[in-house]
Amino acid sequence: MILRYLTISILIVILFDLNTNLGAQSQQVLTGIDVLEREEFVQLFGKRVGLITNQTGMNRFWRPTIDILFNAKNVNLVALFSPEHGIRGTAEGKIPSNIDSITGLNIYSLYGETRQPTDRMLNGIETFVFDIQDIGTRFYTYIGTMKLCMQEAAKNNIEFIVLDRPNPINGVDFEGPILSPEQVFGLVGSFPIPIRHGMTVGELALMYNGEEKLGLNLKIIKIKNWKRELWFDQTGLPWINPSPNMRNLYEATLYPGIGLLERTNVEDKRGLERPFEMFGAPWINSIELAIELNRQNISGVRFVPIKFIPEKSRYKNQLCEGVAISLLDRNSFQPVKCGIIVLQVLYKLYADKFDVKKVWHVTRSDLLIEQVKNQVPIEDIVNSWKPGLENFSTMRNKYLLY
């Protein structure tokens, strides 16, 4: 069973960053599934369970949560639910529902014809279990999928259990603009939180349930031995790529900023050797861009000019120029601030080429786009976030578990 996910074995990386303090964590961190196993699944005895998971749902010994629950005594696993990228985390675009070849269970896709469970999918389910690794960024879709499942569970009196996992880019720092109520919709804007939220999925679930008054029967299986200041490479847990282009902790650290480029006409992930560690386009001058970005003195990073030819994407087989990002100090690095500066520099140098309006998809903010186009000083932009972040901090503190 351990070999269930051989198809993604080339995606699995254990990253030891230059900043890692290997002595910072003396005890093995246990995720929710590890704790559930230790407690012999008593929370699930006799229940008909629907499991929302993907390839990141594994215990610390690389054993899939699917196999663990399917073979557990007194646990009746009856259906599987998959988010974006599918049950094995390798798919792109819409995903059809299908049958799991090992367990014979239905795998209901929540990134296909529907984004939330339907009545037919929920038939016979008494308890939902959620076990997916998030990466700490608002527009990463898995937390949006969790919220939609929570809403349907509340409507149908289904219990909801989150097997909690660490925030890989630490649970202390949060940064960026807060969504206003009218901006809250879809998977990438599921709740009014900042772009980098500094919470675990279990804490987010508590916040969703409490602030939206869902009345959901919600339980969190807490992480053991985790401290908020820890980065993922200090937990002793195996890194499993949460999605095809999120291949290491380095990329996850950069993602809250460089991910702002995803829907624009600058390529930052598809077909690239190092997604989110580099970006570019055929109309960019790499040396010019690197010089201008380095002039900004962004804390914790430097930019190196590069040329590359994407293997796929809108610029497949075209020569592109851009930059590679050297992350020098992750503790001083502010990814969202960096991302806004990147947007401003791209617009300053290539206003006639750079489609900055597409940033709206992940930010939901016309104001931010105007700030970029008008070259508003970055400190003024950051200061404009402060009232929202102060309110978020007060709300967040009510739901922190660690």
Pair 122, 35 in one domain: yes
Asked if residue 378 is part of any domain, the answer here is no
pLDDT-derived band at 313 (thresholds 50, 70, 90) equals confident
Pair 255, 215 in one domain: no
The pLDDT of residue 328 is above 50: yes
% of the chain surpassing 70 pLDDT: 94
Pair 281, 135 in one domain: no
Asked if residue 119 is part of any domain, the answer here is yes
Pair 182, 270 in one domain: no
Q: How many domains does the chain have?
A: 2
Query: C-alpha distances in angstroms, 308 versus 49, 302, 324?
Result: 47, 18, 10
pTM: 0.92
Q: What's the mean pLDDT in 227-247?
A: 97
Q: Name the β-bridge partners of 77.
A: 49
> Is residue 207 within 8 Å of residue 399, measured between CB atoms?
yes
pLDDT-derived band at 25 (thresholds 50, 70, 90) equals low
Asked if residue 25 is part of any domain, the answer here is yes
> Is residue 237 within 8 Å of residue 224, measured between CB atoms?
no
Asked if residue 377 is part of any domain, the answer here is no
Pair 64, 209 in one domain: yes
Residue-level pLDDT at 1: 45
Which of 85-94, 340-349, 376-385 is predicted least confidently? 85-94
What is the Cβ-side half-sphere exposure of residue 393, based on CA atoms within 13 angstroms?
Answer: 11
pLDDT-derived band at 22 (thresholds 50, 70, 90) equals very low
Boundary of a domain, candidates 170, 204, 234: 234
**Helix %, strand %, coil % for the chain, to 5?**
35, 15, 50
Distance CA 364, CA 96 (A): 28
Q: Which domain holds residue 210?
A: 2-234
Angle separating helix axes 378-397 and 335-350, nearest 10 degrees: 150
pLDDT-derived band at 377 (thresholds 50, 70, 90) equals very high
